[in-house]
Amino acid sequence: MTNEEHTDTARGATPNAETAAAEAKVEKMFEYGYRKSNYGPDELVTDAHGNPISVVDAMLSAKDAAKAETSTPHLCYYSPRIPGNTGSAIRLCAVTGTILHLVEPLGFNLRDTKLRRAGLDYHDMAHVVLHPNFEDLVESMPDSRIIAFTAHATKLYTDIEYRPTDILLFGPEPGNIPDPMDIMAGPYVAEQVRLPMRPSLRSLNLTNCASIAIYEAWRQLGFAGGA
């Protein structure tokens, strides 16, 4: 082999080595909670040993959620219907350290593509708890104050001094099904509050409302844990 051929071979090996190193680096990113780039749309994430896990397996249990120390109140969606809103809420909770409680029945499948399209990656599901009914939420968080956000309230959301143990409760998105006032104004609700808006206009998007509420509560609590 001539010196020129040897140099060409060496030159050819360098890009290959660099490519392999880059691929290894990218592959290392896809650890627990991250979907690999070649996964199909309905393929599951894997645990630290490469075993598949389901979406529900990636969630918190109600027991663990009750024990968790948080810097923001908990957020609860009662019977949400629009997957994109819940997907956005999951991302909201991931970036603020909030725990999201979803109370069934849900109006969608948790693997819904619109839910994922809203920015969800399965690692964010570590901030989510699924409850079969509202009573299960109440029983799992007996020492928490439930604050319901509803247009029927007279008190503004800024009139509350929030605690990390609070649960901020939001009902279903507007639609043909009336708001569940037996829940939103029920005996377990400590306070009812509303967001101000111009009269005779439709309500804000559900997760826009939740974002305003969570960030106000977090502001009051000094943005603890934030950067």
- Write out the binding residues for S-adenosyl-L-methionine: 171, 195, 203
105 cis-preceded (ω within 30 degrees of 0): yes
Residue 51 has φ and ψ, to the nearest 5°, of -85, 140
Binding site: residue ranges?
A: 171, 195, 203
Q: Is 90 helix (H, G, I), strand (E, B) or coil?
A: helix
Residue 74 has φ and ψ, to the nearest 5°, of -75, 155
Only one residue has tokens 């249990």, namely 61
**Among 40, 76, 32, 50, which residue's Cα sits nearest to residue 165?**
76
